Amino acid sequence: MVTEENVKEWLDEVKDPEIPVLSLIDLGVITKIDIHESLVKVAMTPTFVGCPAIDYMKNDIVEVLQKHGVKEVEVDVNFEQSWNSNKITQKGRKALKEFGLAPPPKHVLIVDLDILEHVQCPNCNSTNTELKSPFGPTACRSIHHCFDCKETFEQFKPL
Amino acid sequence: MTNTEALKELIYKMADDQLILGHRNSEWTGFGPLLEEDIAFSSMAQDKVGQSYALYQILNDLGEGDPDTVAFMRNADQFHNSQLVELPNGEYDFSLVRHFLFDTAEAIRFQMLTNCSHEPLAQLANKIKGELRYHTMHADIWIKQLGRATEESVSKLQDSLDRLIPYAIGVFEPSPMEDQIIEDKIFEGEGKLRQQWEEAILVVKSKTPLNLPYFSLVKPV
Ligand SMILES: [Zn+2]
C-alpha cells in the first residue's frame, strides 16, 4: 500500500527544470496528495502563473510515480492554495544558495519590495548590494549587483 | 447566484487585454534600449500571456472554448480588449507610459477581484496581484527616473502621456452588464477602479514635473 510519505519521497526526485537543484517538495508547489487504491492524485500550484515549466513538471510527476509502481496518476494544477515564496523549505533555501541564487527572504504575507534593495550576495554574503532589475532570465528571478565581490547575481524573487 | 454571462463578459475583457499587451510587450524582445529593459518587457510579456491563459482556463471551466482556440482562432471583432493595448509599440517612452497606465489599473483591478464572488477568479486574482507588484514597481521606477532626468526624456514622456491618457481611460468602459456585475459581487465596477487608478497615477506623477489633464475633462477612446 502506497502512503503519502512514499509519494512525497518520490516527488523529491522531481526537480524544477529551470533550477535543477530544487525539488517540487523543496519548492513547496505540491498542495495535496490523495491516494485511492491504485490511483494517486497530486495537486500542485504554479510559482508564477505564466511559469512555462508547469507542463514539464506535470509530466515528470507522472513518470516518476509510475517508475515507483503507481498504476494511475492524476495531476491537477489549481490556485486553491496559492504559492508564495515562504513555502520554499529550509533545505530548498540552502540548495538555492549553493546553486548561486539568493533565496527569497521570508516575509509576512504582503511583500515589502524594499527588501529587494539590499539582498544578501550568495557569493560573499555581503548586503552591500543593489537591485539592477526586478526581472531576470526567468519569471521567478531578479538581478542584483554586489559592490563587495563585484559580482552580478540573481535572486529567487519573494512573492 | 452569480450571473454567468456577466462574469464571462468581465473575464473576456481582462484576458483579452492581458493577451494583446503581452504580445505587444514581447515585440521588445531583442530590441530593448538596454539589456535589462529587454528582459523586463520580455518577462512581463510572459507573465501577461500566462495570466491570460489562466483567465481563459476559467472561461473554459464556465463552458467556453479551449484556451488556445479562444486566444488564437477568434476574429478581430470577437475580441473584448481596450484600444490602449492594441496600439503599436512606438518608441520606448510610448511603451513605458502605456505599461505604467495599464499596469497601475491592473494591479488595483486584481486587488479588488480578490473579493470576487466567483471563487476561482478570487483565488487567481490573489495570485496575480502579487506578480503585478513587480510590474508596477518597474513602471514607477522608470517613470520617476526618466520623468525628471533630462529635458528630452521629460518631453518624450509628456508627449506619450498626452497621447495615451484618453486611451487609458477607455480601459474603464463599463460592461454592458455592469449593474449585474456589481450586484452579484463579481467586481466593484469600473467606476470605482477608475477613481483609485486616478489617485495612484497622481501619486507617481507628483514625483516628476510631468503634467496630467483633469481626468474628468478627458474624452475616453
Ligand atoms: Zn558578493
Q: Does A86 touch chain B (CB under 8 A)?
A: no
Q: What is the pLDDT of residue A112?
A: 65
- Mean pLDDT of the region B66-74: 96
Whether residue A159 lies within 8 A of chain B, CB to CB, comes out as: yes
The pLDDT value given to residue A110: 59
B170: domain CATH number is: 1.20.1260.10
Q: A67 — phi, psi (to 5°)?
A: -60, -35
pLDDT value of residue B74: 96
pLDDT band at A108 (very low <50, low <70, confident <90, very high): confident
The answer to whether A50 contacts B46, with C-beta atoms less than 8 Å apart, is: yes
* Residues of chain B positioned with their CB less than 8 A from the CB of A137: 39
Compare CB distances from A49 to B40, B42, B127 and report the shortest one's residue.
B127
In the structure grid, which three cell numbers stand for residue A31, read together? 498542495
Nearest to B39 among A80, A82, A137 (CB): A137
Q: What is the pLDDT of residues B194-218, one digit of tens each?
A: 999 999 999 999 999 999 999 999 9
* Residues of B with Cβ-Cβ distance to A50 under 8 angstroms: 46-51, 53
Is A82 close to B127, i.e. CB distance below 8 A? yes
Interhelix angle B119-146/B35-61, rounded to 10 degrees, is 160
Q: Which grid cell sits at A77?
A: 494544477
How is residue B48 written as a grid cell? 501577461
Classify residue B24: in a domain, yes or no: yes
Q: State the average pLDDT for chain A.
A: 92
Q: What is the chain B residue with the closest CA to A114?
A: B137
CATH code for position A19: 3.30.300.130
Do A68 and A113 lie in a common domain?
no
Average pLDDT for residues A20-30, to the nearest whole number?
95
pLDDT class of A49 with cuts at 50, 70, 90:
very high
Subunit contact A136:B39, Cβ cutoff 8 A = yes
Whether residue B217 is contained in a domain is answered as: no
Query: Span A92-107, mean pLDDT?
Result: 93
B215 domain residue, yes or no? no
Which of A47, A76, A79, A116 to mutate to test binding with chain B, by most B CBs within 10 Å of its CB? Answer: A79
Do residues A73 and A109 share a domain? no
Total count of domains within chain A: 2
Q: Answer yes or no: are the C-beta atoms of B38 and B29 closer than 8 Å.
A: yes
Contacts of B118 (CB under 8 A, 6+ apart): B2, B7, B58, B186
Instruction: Give B117→chain A minimum CA distance, Å.
Output: 15
Would the CB atoms of B134 and A135 count as touching at under 8 Å? yes
Percent of chain A surpassing pLDDT 70: 97
Confirm or reject contact between A152 and chain B (CB < 8 A).
no
Whether residue B25 is contained in a domain is answered as yes
Q: What percentage of chain B exceeds 90 in pLDDT?
A: 99
Q: Which of B49, B51, B137 sits opposite A134 (nearest CB)?
A: B137
Q: Are B64 and B151 in contact (CB under 8 A)?
A: no
Give the count of alpha carbons within 13 A of B218, CB side only: 20
Distances (CA, A) of A52 to A139, B11, B71: 9, 22, 17
Count residue pairs from A and B with Cβ separation < 8 A.
Answer: 70
CB contacts under 8 A, A 28-67 vs B, are 48-52
Q: Which of A133, A152, A155 to mutate to test the interface with B (most CBs of B within 10 A)?
A: A133
Residue A120 C-alpha to ligand 1 middle, in angstroms?
A: 8
**Range(s) of the domain holding residue B149:** 4-208
Look at residues A26, A46, A77 and tell me which one is the last residue of a structural domain: A77
pLDDT tens for A73-83 read 999 999 999 99
The yes-or-no verdict on residue A127 having pLDDT over 80 is yes
Binary contact (A133, B39; C-beta < 8 A) = yes
- Is A93 inside any structural domain? no
Instruction: Check CB contact under 8 Å for B130 and A159.
Output: yes
Q: Residue B41 in contact with residue B210, Cβ under 8 Å?
A: no
Mean pLDDT of B9-26: 98
Going by pLDDT thresholds of 50, 70 and 90, the confidence category of residue A109 is low
* Residue A94 forms part of a structural domain: no
- Grid cell digits, residue A55: 507542463
Q: Which domain holds residue A119?
A: 99-156
**pTM, rounded to two decimals:** 0.93
Q: Is residue B27 part of a domain?
A: yes
pLDDT score, position B140: 95
Give the chain A residue whose CA is nearest to the CA of B125: A79
Q: Is residue B218 part of a domain?
A: no
Segment B2-7 shows an average pLDDT of 91
- Dihedral Cα B172, B173, B177, B181, nearest 10 deg: 10
Domain check: are A70 and A112 in the same one?
Answer: no
Q: Is there a domain that residue A105 lies in?
A: yes
Cβ of B138 within 8 Å of Cβ of A135? The answer is yes
Q: Mean pLDDT for chain B?
A: 96
The structural domain count of chain B equals 1
pLDDT of residue A117: 86
Instruction: Indicate whether B213 belongs to any domain.
Output: no
Q: Are residues A45 and A110 in the same domain?
A: no
- Confidence check: pLDDT of A113 > 80: no
Same domain, A117 and A58: no
**In the predicted structure, residue A115 carries a pLDDT above the cut 90:** no
B/e letters for A54-87, b = 16+ CB within 10 Å, e = fewer, are beebbebbbebbeeeebeebebebbbeebbbbeb
Cα of A130 vs its chain's centroid, Å: 23
User: What pLDDT, on a 0 to 100 scale, did the predictor assign at position A111?
Assistant: 59
pLDDT of B106 strictly over 80: yes
Residue, of A139 and B183, whose pLDDT is higher: B183
